[in-house]
Structure formats: structure tokens, C-alpha cells
Amino acid sequence: MASAAQTTTRDSLHDAADQAEAGVRETARSAGATLREAASDVADGAARAGEKAAEMKDAAMDGAADVARDVSAKLKAVGIDTDVMLGAAKDQAGDLKKMIADELAERPWRTLGLAAAAGVVLGFLSTR
């Protein structure tokens, strides 16, 4: 049979354990609330950063369009037609594409060798 002192000690230990468990639960609840709040703050910050990035992109695009218009206007002022230049560049790009396709069709092994050689040279240069 347990003595009164042992019963009191056991009851005190149980009370202390219950208080410790309650403290741990409260700390866990508090930490969870703090983490949820921090996650919400991070999400809000990310959304604001995304909005700011979109605004900066739009401003950059507008600035680039303004510069392109200014350059085109200045070139036209000195007698250079940018529309004609654009057409000529497209024609030359088309001609180059046709020339490459013809070369591939006529000499596939030579083209493959040139591509391999270029790869080796670029590989050596990139390791430096």
C-alpha cells in the first residue's frame, strides 16, 4: 500500500506532466499560427513582387518601342527606309535558309563533319 507521501508525489508528478503537456500544446498552437502568418506574408510579398515585375516588363517594352520608333524616324529622316531594309533582311534570311537546306541535301556527310568539328572547337573553348 502506498503511503500518503508517495501518493502526493505521484499526484504532483501527474499535475506537472499535465501542465507540461498543456504548455507544449499551447506552444505548438502558437507556432502553427506564427507559421501560417509568416506563410501568408511570404505569399503576399511574392504576389507584390510579381506585380512589380510585370510593371517593370511593361515599362521596358514601352521604352524599347519608343526607342525603335525614334531610331526608325531618324533613319527615315536621313533617307533610309527601314521597311525596305526589313524586307531585304527577310529575303536574305530566306536565301540563307535555302542555301543551308541545299547544302544539307547535296553533302550530308560534309555538313555532319563540319557540325562535329564546330562542336569540338566550342567544347575546347568552353573548358578554358
Alpha-carbon distances of 38 from 42, 74, 102, rounded to whole Å: 6, 53, 62
Statement: the pTM of the whole predicted model exceeds 0.85: no
Task: Average the pLDDT over 14-37 and give the result.
Answer: 84
The string of pLDDT tens digits covering residues 65-92 is 898 888 888 888 888 887 888 888 888 9
How far apart CA 47 and CA 53 sit, in angstroms, is 10
Say which amino acid occupies 48. Answer: R
pLDDT computed for residue 98 by the predictor: 92
Return the CA Rg of the chain: 37
